[in-house]
A and B are shown apart, each in its own frame.
Chain A
Amino acid sequence: MSASAASGASAEAIQRHYDVGNDFYELFLDETRTYSCAMFDPAEMQHESLESAQCRKMDWHAQHSGAIGTARVLDVGCGWGGGLKRLVSQHGVQHGVGLTLSEAQFEYARSTCGPKIEVRLEGWAEHKPDQPYDAIISVGAFEHFARFGDTPAQKLASYRHYFERCHELLSVGAQMSLQTIAYGDIPRTRTFRDTFIADEVFPESDLPRLAEIAEACEDLFEISLVRNDREHYARTCRMWFNQLRAQKDEAIGLVGREVTERYERLLRTFSYSFSLGAFVLLRIALRRSGRSR
């Protein structure tokens, strides 16, 4: 594959993380099976249920991608399909298409999503629909669009490739929303002594920086809004960790001790990293540039 066509982690790498078992994820995720940062009511941060905060998050994306009441919406990295279900049931979207590289997610989403939703086991680089979309949403997938160990130029090329594809997939004047973790106050020159995350949790993946996203979408998309909600992810990860801890015996019965403890470590480390600002959580609203290319 040429450098300019790079699109991040391979399907095998994605499956190593997301295919450990749907019943295992069900133990610690909320009812909507959302595996990304929620959006809490700031006044209720310590009391609101995770499910209610996940619905608020999806509503934010529906609004900021301009998806409400449209005919065709694409969800890049649709997980178990909870976001698409909300778009068609609450936001008047007529047809939703979801992409995932995880077989377990694909099987689950396909069998539960209903007739208005089409789920595909396919990466965004391969997706070639015959009609354009009115909106694109991508939540918690951009983290996989560049590879750990890429040079800055390779990372930028992968991200640029993503925004070029999105530009092609959207109709004129359409909007899209993007939610992703990014590096916070970790210096660019930092070499990691502890590569637990890259080695054991998210193979072949690396996080972006806000500046890289901004550069990669230049002249393809206008950035209309950026929010950093890292406290919301600290809280979300802590709630997942507490759920998993409380059901540790069941989890070990499903996936074994090693995997269970790897997820415990991941969730707690991420919660801390968001609290400290080492990671940030970006929600970005974008508008497709009309300039012909």
Chain B
Amino acid sequence: MAESNVAGKIELASDSQQSTTRSKAEIQAWMITHLEEALELDPGELRADESFDRYGLDSTEAVNLMSSLEDWLGVELEPNLPYEYPTIDELAEHLAAGGTGG
């Protein structure tokens, strides 16, 4: 695989996925599935315009969410994003527009 020093490179050399552009709707759907599972919520319980706080998203789960999102999107993300964009709506919109940092 890659032999060069990848330090500083933003795109992740994921084994499964190259960096892909996703629409806001796709990102929203992905986050809802991921969070309903992680937070053990019933399908349909999570609303895109309610804050993550309300669903008890703690820092460990925020970190797990961002790790999985990085791999799925194939880009490096800042872990403070769920705090800067505290709803699924806002975060998905930010990511769909190509934002990575908080």
Contact = CB atoms under 8 A, between A and B. Distances in A.
Contacts of B70: 268
B33 interface: no
A4 interface: no
Contacts of B79: 271-272, 275-276
Nearest to B12: A245
B63 A272 contact: yes
Interface stretch (B2-10, B24-32, B47-55, B87-95): B2-10
B15 interface: yes
Interface stretch (A100-108, A112-120, A148-156, A247-255): A247-255
A140 B6 CA distance: 25
Given A272-B67, A275-B78, A248 B15 contact: yes
A276 to B, nearest CB: 5
Interface in A177-201: 186, 192-194
Nearest to B8: A46
Contacts of B63: 269, 272-273, 276
A246 B13 contact: yes
A239 interface: yes
Contact of B13 (A47, A50, A245, A273): A245
Nearest to B2: A246
A243 B67 contact: no
A265 interface: yes
A245 B67 CA distance: 13
B20 interface: no
Contacts of A192: 60
A43 B5 CA distance: 20
Contacts of A243: 5-7
A275 B6 CA distance: 20
Interface string A225-238: 00000000000001
A278 interface: yes
Contacts of A269: 63, 67
A186 B1 CA distance: 38
Contact of B1 (A49, A239, A250, A275): A250
Contact of B67 (A238, A268, A275): A268
Contacts of A49: 5, 7
Contacts of A193: 58, 60
B7 A245 contact: no
Interface string A50-74: 1000000000000000000000000
Nearest to B59: A278
6 contacts: A46-B8, A49-B7, A50-B7, A268-B70, A275-B79, A276-B59
Given A194-B64, A243-B7, A246-B4, 6 more contacts: A242-B7, A246-B1, A247-B2, A271-B79, A273-B63, A276-B63
